[in-house]
Amino acid sequence: MDFAHFIGGQWVADSDVTTNRNPANQDDIIGTYARGGAARVDEAVAAAMAALDDWAHASPQLRHDVLEKAGALIVERKDELGRLLAREEGKTLAEAVGETVRAAQVFKFFAGEALRNTGDAVASVRPGVEVMIEREPVGVIGLITPWNFPIAIPAWKMAPALAFGNTVVMKPAELTPGCAWELANILEQAGCPAGVFNLVMGPGSQVGARIVEHPDIAAVSFTGSVATGRQVAVDCAANGKKVQLEMGGKNPMVVVDDADLDVAVGAALNGAFFSTGQRCTASSRLIVTKGIHDAFLDRLTAAAADLVVGDPLDPKTQIGPVVDQSQMDQNMRYLALASEEGCDVRGGGLGNGNGFFMHPAIFAGASNAMRVSREEIFGPMTSIIKVDDYDEALAVANDTEFGLSSGICTTSLKLASHFRRHAKAGMVMVNLPTAGVDYHVPFGGRKGSSYGPREQGSYAREFYTVVKTSYIAP
Ligand code: ADP
């Protein structure tokens, strides 16, 4: 089946297409998706500009109703959409259905936020004058999304953008256009007026780059790699756009001697390997104090070896495929590098079948100075770094150019509190995997991981609105 762009309320085909393949079975073709360029972005921005005034001034009830309906339609179709997600991205069906439900929850949350866009009334320093502070839409917003959460990330950018009265041009990752296309379809069914939401599919170098430079796009929200994100920020600044970036992580999980071993192994297994390690919040550095190190390493090695790698649609599967050949090549380069750098590599073999299957790998005996412990790999691999005590663990945890999520496993309230206050990260997890977050609270990091205001929850309003201060003399 052919899937078209969605521009100005119309489905617009392109002669050029991208074939969307299942990473678990390269013969399984999900569909062919229109592959646009700069000209399609220009059409979409023109449609979004034309729709902006009406949408920005529409009753919040209308915006609420569209988002609420979209959330309801996603829930109704969760199994089918989850299956599509699993087929195009490769995470297990359970994870994919969970992510789909998450997308619905996000739409429903922001349906409510549309009604809660409150302002302030302040007494003026001038007698008889009133001051009001309100939040207005930013304008046309460009959304650029990655492949690893192909329904949740588009949802958590689209929903707040629309809730606060902006119009949108979205470009999904080329590897996973299917879920984004379904969201456009659902918004149309939910009664979203023509031009308010526009979908343009195609390569980042053309579609993404045009979104970033287009003079009528007022703000860009981007999630993806550090290299691309930094360029997007530079280009947005040069073009005077507001920008929000979510990029990589090299998230530490500290395990101290007093940790509950079952909890620590469970959190590490989930954080490092679930979703095939393809999460920016993945636990890619396990920093373990010497008293518990050997027991933890033995238990984790055994548990990782038992994880079932295979077809995401098989309910027994715990780890789906790597997303594509290029990510697989990168994983293999890091696997070889771990040995070259002197790690004791456990696991990491290739799986069977016509897909990009690999077994989880543990880099025992790693140091924090090694490249495998400093660079984001984005695969089912994790470094184990042995340290003397908690103080060293905390120092190693913070010794990274990233700062997204940071975790500790401990039964000591004192250490947990100290870690929570001293971790240089946007999110802290105690006795939980570094990945796995709620949808109604802020998501984001520090240092090289994020830039600009937070995403999600009520904090999303900061990016998707601009402040107006009015002075009124009656
Ligand atoms: P990943 O390695 O996760 O694919 P990328 O940063 O390459 O990360 O991609 C994230 C998103 O950014 C994708 O939608 C991609 O198409 C888009 N993108 C890639 N290059 C550019 C660019 N030069 N300008 C804008 N967007 C881009």
Supply φ then ψ for residue 192, to 5 degrees.
-70, 125
In this structure, is residue 436 part of a structural domain? Answer: no
Query: Helix crossing, 413-422 with 390-398: angle to 10°?
Result: 30
Percent of the chain with pLDDT over 70: 100
Same domain as 218, residue 84: yes
- Among the atoms of ligand 1, which is closest to the Cα of residue 174? 16
pLDDT in tens, 198-209: 999 999 999 999
For residue 296, give the CATH number of its domain: 3.40.309.10
Q: Exposed, middle or buried, 303 (CB in 10 Å: 0-12/13-18/19+)?
A: middle
Same domain as 335, residue 201: no
- Contact yes or no for 464/440 (Cβ under 8 A): no
- Contact yes or no for 341/372 (Cβ under 8 A): yes
Question: From the CA of 453, how far away is ligand 1's center (Å)?
Answer: 20
Residue with the smallest CA separation from ligand 1 atom 24 is 209
Answer whether 225 contacts ligand 1 (Cβ < 6 A): yes
Same domain as 404, residue 271: yes
Comparing CA positions, the residue from 36, 43, 49 lying closest to residue 171 is 36
Using most ligand atoms within 8 A of CB, pick from 228, 278, 281, 375 the residue to mutate for ligand 1.
228
pLDDT in tens, 131-163: 999 999 999 999 999 999 999 999 999 999 999
pLDDT, mean of residues 377-394: 98
pLDDT in tens, 54-111: 999 999 999 999 999 999 999 999 999 999 999 999 999 999 999 999 999 999 999 9
Comparing CA positions, the residue from 438, 22, 406, 99 lying closest to residue 275 is 99
Q: Given the residues 246, 341, 376, 455, select the one marked as catalytic.
A: 246
Alpha-carbon dihedral 355, 358, 359, 361, rounded to 10 degrees: -160
Number of neighbouring beta carbons within 10 Å of residue 276? 31
Q: Given the residues 280, 341, 343, 455, select the one marked as catalytic.
A: 280
Alpha carbon 380 to chain centroid distance? Answer: 17
Same domain as 255, residue 238: no
User: pLDDT-derived band of residue 353, with 50, 70 and 90 as boundaries?
Assistant: confident
Cβ-proximal residues to 314 (8 Å cutoff; 6+ apart), any chain: none
Same domain as 457, residue 410: no
In this structure, is residue 442 part of a structural domain? Answer: no
Q: Is the predicted pLDDT of residue 1 greater than 90, yes or no?
A: no
Whether 280 is catalytic is yes
- Measure the CA–CA gap between 23 and 10, rounded to whole angstroms: 30
Same domain as 166, residue 29: yes
Same domain as 293, residue 389: yes
Mean residue pLDDT of the chain comes to 97
For residue 95, give the CATH number of its domain: 3.40.605.10
Same domain as 57, residue 33: yes
Q: Angle at Cα 52 formed by Cα 51 and Cα 53, nearest 5°?
A: 105
Residue with the smallest CA separation from ligand 1 atom 20 is 204
In this structure, is residue 438 part of a structural domain? Answer: no
Same domain as 341, residue 259: yes
Sequence letter at residue 401:
E
What total number of domains does the chain contain? 2
Supply φ then ψ for residue 173, to 5 degrees.
-65, 145
Question: From the CA of 69, how far away is ligand 1's center (Å)?
Answer: 30
Answer whether 286 contacts ligand 1 (Cβ < 6 A): no
**Buried b vs exposed e over 147-170: b needs ≥16 C-beta within 10 Å?**
bbbbbbbbbbbbbbbbbbbbbbbb
Task: Supply the pLDDT for residue 474.
Answer: 83
In this structure, is residue 72 part of a structural domain? Answer: yes
Percent of the chain with pLDDT over 90: 99
In this structure, is residue 444 part of a structural domain? Answer: no
User: pLDDT-derived band of residue 352, with 50, 70 and 90 as boundaries?
Assistant: confident
Same domain as 230, residue 175: yes
Cβ-proximal residues to 227 (8 Å cutoff; 6+ apart), any chain: none
In this structure, is residue 12 part of a structural domain? Answer: yes
Answer whether 280 contacts ligand 1 (Cβ < 6 A): no
Q: Is the predicted pLDDT of residue 456 greater than 90, yes or no?
A: yes
Residue with the smallest CA separation from ligand 1 atom 7 is 225
Same domain as 171, residue 214: yes
- Among the atoms of ligand 1, which is closest to the Cα of residue 235? 24
Answer whether 204 contacts ligand 1 (Cβ < 6 A): yes
pLDDT in tens, 11-41: 999 999 999 999 999 999 999 999 999 999 9
pLDDT, mean of residues 335-339: 98
The boundaries of the domain holding residue 208 are: 2-247+449-472
Residue with the smallest CA separation from ligand 1 atom 25 is 208
In this structure, is residue 441 part of a structural domain? Answer: no
- Measure the CA–CA gap between 359 and 252, rounded to whole angstroms: 21
Supply φ then ψ for residue 455, to 5 degrees.
-95, 160
Same domain as 165, residue 49: yes
Cβ-proximal residues to 407 (8 Å cutoff; 6+ apart), any chain: 251, 252, 253, 254, 267, 271, 283, 428, 429, 430, 432, 433, 434
pLDDT in tens, 165-190: 999 999 999 999 999 999 999 999 99
Residue with the smallest CA separation from ligand 1 atom 27 is 204
Task: Supply the pLDDT for residue 175.
Answer: 98
- Contact yes or no for 327/276 (Cβ under 8 A): no
Task: Supply the pLDDT for residue 398.
Answer: 98
- Measure the CA–CA gap between 376 and 389, rounded to whole angstroms: 25
Q: Quote the DSSP letter at residue 4.
A: -
In this structure, is residue 210 part of a structural domain? Answer: yes
